[in-house]
Structures are given as structure tokens and as C-alpha cells.
Amino acid sequence: MDVKCLVCGEPWDYWGLYHGDVQAWEADAIKKGLGCPHCEGNPPEGGYEPENLSDFEYGDEDCISRLYAQPPEGAYEPPQAEILQVCIGCGVQRIRDRAAEVYDGSRREPVYAWYAPAGSDALRWQVEWKLSCEDPGAPMADFHGLGPVCAHCCDECADCDAIIATHCQGAFASLDGEGEGYLPEGHYHTSDLRCLDCYMHYVAESEYEAE
């Protein structure tokens, strides 16, 4: 069945509202009577007024609740992104982008993304390139109890699963060596970084083999 926008009267397919025809927040706005993508919450010239009770029908739900919800509360606008975590190294944010989500039946599919605030170190292309390979739906690693840190700013030790910094600035500058990465002589890539314990063990083994 069709669901009418209570602002402009535009008909919308009820099944389509919950299967990708519109964003989830747009489906919610249509249900509440705040507007639709056709009118964007602005009444047409001359206005629009529902004339029949059937104009308030909404799928299998009781149309009376939609009738008594007029005038609706709120505005026709996309919701702000929810900030889930902020990297203590570069400032990149792991967010849930509610404005990009759609319904899959009764389930709202979550959409996660990376966001670099203006002025943050996360705007550097190296961060964007590294994070393009990472799933923003997965939480960032915890950096020694100091807070979350993204995949650009940290990595695992080459010999164990210890989290170590791969670039030292901002919050990493005051760690007094904890979580710092060490490159053995002759190695130049961050993938070869080791935590202090593994680095000392590697150096000791190298010296023993050289004897």
C-alpha cells in the first residue's frame, strides 16, 4: 500500500520504505509526518491538508496514532553522526553514520565510517590510505590504557601481539617509552618494529649469532 507524506501528499510504497527506497531517517520522517525526499519538509505552494482518515494510514499500524501525532515534533533533517571513538594519536574518529543507513525490513543496517575533523593530523593522506584498508565497524585497539588508537598510529610487535606506536607525536610523546616501537639495525619498515622486550631479545640473539 501507499503511505502519504503528511506535508505534501506524495505517495510512498510502504514496503519500499523499509527495503531501501529511502534512507532510514527519511522513512522515519515520513512516518512522523515531518516530510519526505520530495518536499524535504516544505509544504507545496497552496499547502496540503489530509482530507480522509485513509491519508493517515501507515501499513498495518493504527492510523489514529499518526493522526494524533500532528503537528509532529522535530525537523526534516538527517541525524548527526555518532562518534564512537577518537584516536589519541591523530584524532581520526570512528563514527556511525546514521544518515547513510537504510532499513532491511524491521532491521536498521548500521553504517560505520572514518571521519577526519578539520585541523586534525588525521587529514594527512598517509592516514587516509592506511585506514582505507581497515574496517571502521571494528573497534580501535586500546593503547596501554591511555585510549583508542587507529591502525595508522599503532601496530603489533613483529614478534608478539603487543601494541606499539608507529608514529610518535601528540599523546605518544609522553609515554616514557611504554608502547614505543624499536627498529633493529638494518630494518627500515614499520612492519619490523618490535616492543622493547622483543627488541632486546632480537639484539641479544643477533649478537650471539655474530660471535
Residue 80: which pLDDT band, with cuts at 50, 70 and 90?
A: very high
What per-residue confidence (pLDDT) applies to 78? Answer: 96
Residue 5 CB partners (closer than 8 Å, separation 6+): 11, 12, 30, 33, 35, 36, 38, 39
How does pLDDT run across 124-170, given as a tens digit for each residue?
A: 887 888 888 899 999 999 988 889 999 888 888 888 888 888 765 55
What per-residue confidence (pLDDT) applies to 204? Answer: 86
Q: How far apart are CA 40 and CA 17, in angstroms?
A: 16
Q: How far apart are CA 16 and CA 61, in angstroms?
A: 16
Neighbours of 126 (CB within 10 A): 12
For 31-40, 57-66, 142-151, 174-183, which range has the lowest pLDDT when averaged over its residues? Answer: 174-183
Contact 110, 101 (CB under 8 A): yes
